[in-house]
Every structure is written in C-alpha cells, then in structure tokens.
A and B are shown apart, each in its own frame.
Chain A
C-alpha cells in the first residue's frame, strides 16, 4: 500500500501495466520528455524508452487514428488527449472508427485501446480546458466511458480499461488530480467496468453523480444529514454502459431520485438516467426525478465558473427540494 493522489495513481497504474505487459504503449502531446502537462506519465519514457512512451506532434486526430492502427496490429495503446476540450479534432476517429471497428468487421478487428483525458472543470483554466464530454461520448454505441473519483478507483478502473478488449475512454477529473491522498495497493486489482458503486446507504433519496462532483455531493450529504435527510449516494463510475440495475434497485428503496453532473443539462446523462428510473421504478417514485446539472450555456471562463459548477450548498438545496416535494 502507498499513499497516492489521483494523478499519482494514474502514473503508478500506467507504470505497473507497462511493466507487466510489453504491448502497452503510452503517447500523446508532451507525454514523453515532459511527462504530461499534469505529470500523469512522468518517468515512463525514462523507464520504458521512447518506443513505448513518446511525444507526438500536435494532432489529436492522428493520435487517436494511430492508436486504432496500433490496436489492430497487436499493441495496447493508451493515448492521452491533453485536455478533453482538445478532443474534438479526434471525434472523427473516435466516432467513425474507434466505436465501430468491432461491429464493422463483425468482430474480427477489435480495438483494445484506451484514450485518457483530463476532464471537467473548476480548475480556473482557459477556454476549452473545462469541458465535460460525458454526454457526447456516452451517446456513441461501441465506446465504454469511465470516470474515477478516487485514487483507488483510478487504478482499478484504469487496469480494467487497459485490459478490456473494447475501446475505453477514460475521463480523469482534473479538479481532483491532487485533491487528496488515499491508500492504493501496489499489487494487482481491478474494478469492473459498467458497475456503479453505492458510496453510502440511505433511505430518503438516491443521488447519483461521478467524477469530481462525488466529493461535493458527499459534502452536501453532511449538510443534509444534519437536517435528518438520509441520502443514498451512488458513484456511477462508468458512464457507458450504465449500471441501471444498481440505480433502479436504489430508487425502488428510496422513492426519490436526483442526478448531479457538470455537463450542460439538456440531453445530458441525467436525462438518460431519469429515463431509466422512469422505466424501472416509476411506481415507486414519490417525487419527480430531478437533474442538477450545468446550465445550457458555454462553460464560463474562470471568473464566472463558480456560477456554473454546483457547490455543496446548491446541491443540498436541490436535493432538499426533492425530499420535501
């Protein structure tokens, strides 16, 4: 066991898997010599050589496109997109090829690749550095979309992602890269993709969230506990495919449902989850299932971002409203 923050756990996991499996290669902009702008890949080039950990020219489409080729030719590429907001040039590759190759070739060509990217906002960064892509990516059949909320989960989920035979988009909440440390086992363990985690059992309302917001929801929960509201809190962990079972079981117990996400509200994952709840737990509901999400506007620059991102108080207010409905 070692104490690690989230970025340290990512670095450790990449190191671990590169050491274990020679077919794992890691690349992206500033990933090699610099070790990544967030230091996720620091030391890997030194340890495994520039053939297995390397800098690429600035070309997101080619980063993902070459990952497709490498995956077809026997490697396990772990490509980094420097910020999720820079992923858009790669969307042609992601949507047209990464997501479809297995289906297109009737299972002959599968793509065991991972695309990692810092994700979400609240870090007072420039434009395009605070984007939430869970909506866009979650909508594409053929992709698995995963996001950890703790160092422990980061390792278990990333190992599963690298070893998965399908392409996985790994969204790393940059806001909590260095927020806290946690004991992370240095040996092998995986956390299954597609499984949500019940963080806290409760009776009054089911609250689902993921990524950096998990920690804000836990703060909101403390506020609500003082008022006698006992929420069940679920970390979705995998945005696609969604673990509907865990959520529906929970809502059948609590009768109320709130989903909280950074991405803009309309057409977001919240809408999808509410549809699932309506389909699977309609007769159990005591209040309208509710989304607490980003406004339907472009994510503001740093000076205005505190209005966009929900803090624990605003989350608590939203949850309270559903409980008191």
Chain B
C-alpha cells in the first residue's frame, strides 16, 4: 500500500514521473494504456487552454473575476481520473481539470465565472457539487455524502478538495475528524499550491507538511508530487480503492504550485519573487507529460500545438455563446429561493416587473 511507504511522517513524496517525463518508479506506474494517458493529458491541455482563454477574455473586460488553474492540472485531472463516474466530486473552486474530466461542460464553467447562477447547475448524472467559496466549508458536505453512502450501503466514494490555506480553518479539522470517527469513504485532496492569495504556505501553519494533519485525525495520508499525473492518479486510486472496501478516509497532499495569480484580482509580483516562479516552471505538469507521450510515440509537438489552437477556438466559441445567452432573466432571481414562491416574494417580483414595464413606457 502506497500510504505505508509514503505516510505523513515518512518524509517522502510519491513521484512516479520526474520533471523530464522520465519514469522513476516503473513498478508504480498505474495500469493505463498510452491512449488512456493521452486522453488524460488532453484534458490537462484543455484545462490550460480554457484557462488562458478565460484570462484573455477577463483582460478584455468580458469575463469577470477568474481563478486560474495553471500549474495544477495534474493534481486535478489525476485525482478525478481515479474516480468512477458514480463517485461524488466536491470542489473548492480551483479544480477545472477535474470538472472537465467529470463531464462538466466548459459552457457551465464559463457561465459561473461570467457571474451567472446557472454556472452551478451541472448536467444530470454529473455527481459534482457546486463551487464553495467560503473556505473549507465544502469538506463536511463531502463527509456527509460519504456517510450517506455508508448508511445506504452503497459503494460510492467521495473525493473532496481544499487548498493549503483552507487547512487552517476549523471546518477542515472538523471534517477530517468526522471522516475518521465515522469511517467515511472519502478522499480529501489538498491542492497545496503554496499560496493562499498572498500568504505563503510556511506562514499558514507551523506543520512541516499539510498531510501530517491526517495523523491527529487518525486517518492515513500521503504526500504526492501534485505535478505528476501518474503519481496523483496512483495515490488517489489507492485511497479510493481502500475507501470502497470499507477502509475509511485518506488525506492526500498534492504538492504543486500556482503559476498564476490567486484570481484576476491580485498581483502575485507583490508577494512572491519571480525567481521562485521561474524555479517552478520546469516542474510544469503539462511539460513533463507531453515529453513522456512524445517519447512513447503517441503524440508530437505539432499535434500539441494544433490541439491547443483547436480547443482555444472552441473555448472562444463557447464563451461567445455564454455572452449571448448569459444574462439572467428577472424571474431567475426569485424562483429558486423556495420550491413554492411565498406570497411576499411573489409580491416583490410582480412589483419589480411593474416597475420595469413602467420604465419602458
């Protein structure tokens, strides 16, 4: 079991593929075909491309605030790829790669960052919860989903995400503790991207690693190179398998780096050195996976460029649709507050419609 070798107090980080795309732990390579790895890589590339497009659109003033994923694609796609379709996915807010893998349409994602509530409504059959902005508040929902699976005797596992900053909030500890006590079939993924807006990871907690927080909750944990798709897949698969067999929760720390800003509202040069960012660039998860796939003969630079260009055009097309159709209707403000609209809200709605009509005349 991976968690035994790479447990929270072992001081080791699971890596299967190094920065150059070289397999350093051949025994641990998950049993996926080259084509399957390529498919996951393409999702990483879609994520990166959709991100770049969103940032571009944001700078043009067409998209509102946006939280980029650049540098964290392996942590997101690798963990989501280890899930079954029927498992529950509980995001924080920076998991685009996982959403795309899980079948959340890009249109929905863009609609969210465009500032429309329908961006939190996923197609039927996609067992994803919506984005949770209040830090850490989503983890207990994940534990609840998992407890329900246990209570109902179902085999679904929940995978729930949080950032490094989120481990400081009480909700994080409460969720881990509940998960341990109730042996909930859940996998917690900390995307440790080293920054919570401007606050560096070492200022967030005195703990040497984040994964060691599993120890106090009495649950297994594993520190993983979050920029290594294979390692992320392997660690999450291992944890999910254990959870599905009744082995309870696991905490995974995906050690990664946010190459971009927290959101389009902040300027990272104010709180970190360029040299640090430069140091992380060679560790780019996309770079290394691309090198691997090219070395396997299933992908090429030309295909890579063509793919990005094509997906970029697609993303722009999707966004144009969002722009054209993304303005909410007045009734959308009112009709989801309760199942049945209470009289006082109906009155407010009708009064407002009357006001709008009067304005037109």
The interface of chain A, by Cβ under 8 A from chain B, is 29-30, 33-34, 37, 55, 57-62, 85-86, 88-89, 124-129, 265-266, 295-298, 300-304, 307-308, 313-314, 317
- Which residues of chain B come closer than 8 Å to A59, judged between CB atoms? 168-170
Residues of B185-215 at the interface with A, using a CB-CB cut-off of 8 Å, are 196-199, 203-205
CA distance A284 to B359 in the complex (A): 32
Q: Are A55's CB and B198's CB within 8 A? A: yes
Q: Mark B169-189, 1 if CB is under 8 A from A, else 0.
A: 111000000000000000000
- B84, CB-defined interface residue at 8 Å: no
Question: A57's contact among B205, B332, B348, B358, by CB below 8 Å, is which?
Answer: B205
Q: Are B198's CB and A33's CB within 8 A? A: yes
- B328, CB-defined interface residue at 8 Å: yes
Q: Are A295's CB and B352's CB within 8 A? A: yes
Q: A59-B168, A300-B328 are in contact. Are A37 and B197 (CB under 8 A)?
A: yes
CA distance A125 to B66 in the complex (A): 10
Q: Are B344's CB and A303's CB within 8 A? A: no
CA distance A33 to B334 in the complex (A): 42
Q: Provide a sorted-by-A list of 24 A–B residue pairs whose CB atoms are within 8 angstroms.
A: A29-B199, A30-B197, A30-B199, A34-B266, A55-B198, A57-B169, A57-B199, A57-B205, A58-B136, A58-B166, A58-B168, A58-B196, A124-B115, A127-B131, A127-B133, A128-B133, A295-B349, A297-B334, A297-B345, A298-B337, A300-B117, A301-B116, A303-B327, A303-B328
CA distance A87 to B345 in the complex (A): 26
Q: Are B203's CB and A55's CB within 8 A? A: yes
Q: Are A34's CB and B271's CB within 8 A? A: yes
Question: B330's contact among A33, A88, A307, A313, by CB below 8 Å, is which?
Answer: A307
Given A37-B197, A308-B333, 18 extra CB contacts under 8 A: A33-B198, A33-B271, A34-B197, A57-B203, A57-B205, A58-B199, A60-B169, A62-B170, A88-B134, A124-B115, A125-B64, A125-B65, A126-B133, A127-B133, A300-B117, A300-B328, A303-B328, A307-B330
Q: A29-B199, A55-B199, A296-B345 are in contact. Are A61 and B337 (CB under 8 A)?
A: no
- B12, CB-defined interface residue at 8 Å: no
Question: B115's contact among A34, A296, A301, by CB below 8 Å, is which?
Answer: A301
| Nearest-Cβ distance from residue A121 to partner chain B, whole angstroms | 12
| Nearest-Cβ distance from residue B346 to partner chain A, whole angstroms | 10
Question: Which chain B residue shows the least CB distance to A317?
Answer: B355
| Nearest-Cβ distance from residue A134 to partner chain B, whole angstroms | 19
- Which residues of chain B come closer than 8 Å to A302, judged between CB atoms? 64, 115
Q: Mark B324-349, 1 if CB is under 8 A from A, else 0.
A: 00111010111001000000110011
- B71, CB-defined interface residue at 8 Å: no
- B114, CB-defined interface residue at 8 Å: yes
Chain B interface residue count, Cβ-Cβ cutoff 8 angstroms: 45
CA distance A307 to B359 in the complex (A): 13
Question: Which chain A residue shows the least CB distance to B272?
Answer: A33
- Which residues of chain A come closer than 8 Å to B131, judged between CB atoms? 127
Q: Are A295's CB and B169's CB within 8 A? A: no
| Nearest-Cβ distance from residue B13 to partner chain A, whole angstroms | 23
| Nearest-Cβ distance from residue A321 to partner chain B, whole angstroms | 10
- Which residues of chain B come closer than 8 Å to A125, judged between CB atoms? 64-65
- B265, CB-defined interface residue at 8 Å: yes
Q: A30-B197, A37-B265, A265-B348 are in contact. Are A296 and B337 (CB under 8 A)?
A: yes
- B21, CB-defined interface residue at 8 Å: no
The interface of chain B, by Cβ under 8 A from chain A, is 64-65, 114-117, 119, 131, 133-136, 165-166, 168-171, 196-199, 203-205, 265-266, 270-271, 326-328, 330, 332-334, 337, 344-345, 348-349, 352, 355, 358-359
- Which residues of chain A come closer than 8 Å to B349, judged between CB atoms? 295
Q: Are A295's CB and B348's CB within 8 A? A: yes
CA distance A35 to B135 in the complex (A): 20
Q: Are B345's CB and A301's CB within 8 A? A: no
Q: Are B271's CB and A300's CB within 8 A? A: no
| Nearest-Cβ distance from residue B39 to partner chain A, whole angstroms | 32
Q: A37-B266, A57-B165, A298-B337 are in contact. Are A128 and B134 (CB under 8 A)?
A: yes
Q: Are A34's CB and B270's CB within 8 A? A: yes
CA distance A266 to B338 in the complex (A): 15
| Nearest-Cβ distance from residue A26 to partner chain B, whole angstroms | 15
| Nearest-Cβ distance from residue A98 to partner chain B, whole angstroms | 17
Q: Are B334's CB and A58's CB within 8 A? A: no
Q: Are B333's CB and A313's CB within 8 A? A: no
Question: Which chain A residue shows the least CB distance to B198?
Answer: A34
- Which residues of chain A come closer than 8 Å to B197, judged between CB atoms? 29-30, 34, 37
- Which residues of chain B come closer than 8 Å to A313, judged between CB atoms? 359
- Which residues of chain B come closer than 8 Å to A129, judged between CB atoms? 133
- Which residues of chain B come closer than 8 Å to A317, judged between CB atoms? 355, 358
Question: A307's contact among B266, B333, B344, by CB below 8 Å, is which?
Answer: B333
Q: Are B170's CB and A89's CB within 8 A? A: yes
Q: A34-B197, A265-B348 are in contact. Are A297 and B330 (CB under 8 A)?
A: no
- Which residues of chain A come closer than 8 Å to B337, judged between CB atoms? 296-298
Q: A29-B199, A58-B166, A296-B348 are in contact. Are A86 and B134 (CB under 8 A)?
A: yes
- Which residues of chain A come closer than 8 Å to B171, judged between CB atoms? 89
Q: Are B134's CB and A89's CB within 8 A? A: yes
